[in-house]
Structure 1
Amino acid sequence: MSGSFLPWWRAGVVAPLILSASAFASAPEVTGEVASGVWSSSRMLDDKHAVSSNRAKLKLDWQASESLQLNSEVWALSSPERLDEKREDAGVNELYVKSSETVCAPALGKKLVMWGRADGINPTDQISPSNYRRLTPETTDQRTGNWGLHLDCEVGAGKLQMHVLDRFQFNDVPLEKTPGVVFREQDPDVRPTVAVKYDVLGSDADWSVSVIDGHDLFPTFAVRSATPEGITLGQHATRMRMIGSDFTIVRGEMAYRGEIAWVDFEQSSDPAVARRQPYTSAIGGAEWYIGDRETVSLQGFWRHLRSVSSLSNDPLFAQVQAAQALISNELDRDQYGVTLRYAKPLFDSKADLDLFAVWTEPRNDWMLRGRLKYALTDSWRVSTGFDIFRGPQDSFLGHLRTNSLTFVEASYIW
């Protein structure tokens, strides 16, 4: 499908720019960041320590005319995050043209789409992929956008978002090296993803309902070849359908948040592809604003697997299925737990402290994440922090223990 998308994508981008050249309204606004840091570990589930990481991003916002806008964000880095062990990489996070005065304000190109109103865990946020191997203080810097057509329509009291996405990209997940196992990364050529969300911003409450018909962002393991010397695993895109909803209600110094998603998978007919477990996931809680400075958030969550596949009698495929359950958090029929966040500005708001914790049962695994950002000047920033993962090795958070780390990073922003 991507081949059929390219010609009209180019036409959709180039033609409006040419037509709008005579109606140029403002000069492009260029912002960026250059950062360099030292990390006690990588996020690759390996034994590397004292890792350096350097990254840069450049963002351009151009109001080409009164109705036409061009947005782009590109990045480059030198950091350990690739399975082929190359440190240097570069790419595009966003690149799209938007016509704000046209019906439904269409945007064409690559755009970041993030859904969900819960704090830290968002079951409905399943459109734009994440690179969980990337060494960045902020999780938003691990995200990248989706190529396609993006619509934002005024309908009644809310807005109807529609996304038709022509290209698919997996999440990049940490994979522990196993002797005799080779993993091949390749984003598949699959049917377009369609995502629709009706979002209402009200005086009493904000809420939305959403639907996705596409493919799961977490790769499904598939055995591509097996020899006496070892096996080769590839990535299979499992068809996924999601129905979700979220809300936020503010009452005085408190905000109540909730989010729920019902997810179904269409299993592959290929016996060499791991099985996926359909699930329902819900999270909800409250956020307290203490004065105008401190914030405390407490949530409870629950994840229920509606069906559980039995392990194969073949030892090889049983191991592949167990590994799949570990990376996609499909280990227990019922998983439940709590999240806690504490945030506070410090030093006359020159610094920001943020602590976030997750504890889950029935495997008693947990994580604690801390961040402290300090503004030396308007442009210079220093960030430091830590990630701690604990629990049994066969638990979702516990198997990430090797990725526990501390870091310090300096950045220049303009």
Structure 2
Amino acid sequence: MTPRQTRPRRTFICGWACTQRWALHKRFYVATSRQLKRLESVSRSPIYSHFSETVTGSSVIRAYGRHSAFVVMSDIKVDENQKSYYPGIVSNRWLGVRIEFIGNCMVLFAALFAVTGKENLNPGLVGLSVSYALQVTMSLNWMVRMTSELESNIVAVERVKEYSETKTEAPWEVEDKKPSPEWPAEGNVEFHDYSVRYREGLDLVLKNLSLSVKGGEKIGIVGRTGAGKSSMTLCLFRLLEAAAGEITIDGVKISELGLHDLRSRLTIIPQEPVLFSGTLKMNLDPFEKYSDEELWSALQQSHLHKFVSNQPAKLELECSEGGENLSVGQRQLVCLARALLRKTRILILDEATAAVDLETDDLIQSTIRTQFEDCTVFTIAHRLNTILDYTRVLVLDKGQIAEFDTPANLLSQKGIFYGMAKDAGLTQ
């Protein structure tokens, strides 16, 4: 084989070896950088969340002198993030050094083959081969980095894909299962061996609940923290779907109804009052279903008439975001007025008076007793004295029914409810 034939063969073998080495580095680097990017993205979110929480609660942090503790927490989260961010930078440099080394090797061999050749070569051909070899370093680097960037950034698409595959809520409306316009006419609520969990794989928060509530009954729900009180009310709105059993309202299985048809026939006064930026009228009647006379009547019954009538804008009073320009008690009374306007047959109070003073609590309770006299009321009780005149009291313990009877009978039995009443100073 002549020297002229040997040189291309040697050049090809050298290029092939460098290419294989480049491919090997690419395989290691892309897989590593992708996983490091995934870890860095996961550990970055807590930093932003903690910073946002710190800014929001800065006044409380200053009041309790917890500056150093929050700084330490922030440092810990940043350090955790750097555990994956710094190796990503190191791997980048690792790749850069080796890719440049491979490219320089190709330049070196191209120059050596040109110099050691036994016959004269065209200077232009030598210059062309060396100049192209010089560009290999940049091209290899660019190819690997673009491949790595693509696979690293696809991590964000993986998250979007995960959200897109998340199980959605039930249909908003089911045409062949729409209830009658008068439903629920009586307000009878029944739980049949009902169990629920917050998501697959978790323990049951309610276990085999079976109870029957007649229309117009006032039911107080009590229990220790974590007993399942709020979970029970969430099930009525199907914010949690049943793991087993069924809930029926006036004989209709709520699992067969559309969510809009179900939730529009129930009313809840939440523990934390929810108001939106806009006028008071919009907060009371967002869908403009009621007249001004009905709105004023609701304000009168919720003891807000005097406050609103003294405002220059009256019903057009601007509410700031979250109702910050109103007191907590006034916000809770606005929610009560909203419930009075809807006046459904089933009312749920999720510790609605937990954050208000005793006077506002008395106002809300007196209004509920008079205006919702013929409605079925479920009350998660924060103050036991508010439910002592209720029809029955449901005591939950670890997601199960521990006691369910009239307040007088439960006090005479000296069980869990009696112990809670004794702790509250309502009995000797």
TM-score, normalisation: structure 2: 0.23
Bigger Cα Rg: 2
The structure in which a higher percent of residues are helix is 2
Q: Tell me the TM-score normalised to structure 1 length.
A: 0.24
Bigger relative CO (Cα 8 Å, ≥ 6 apart) = 2
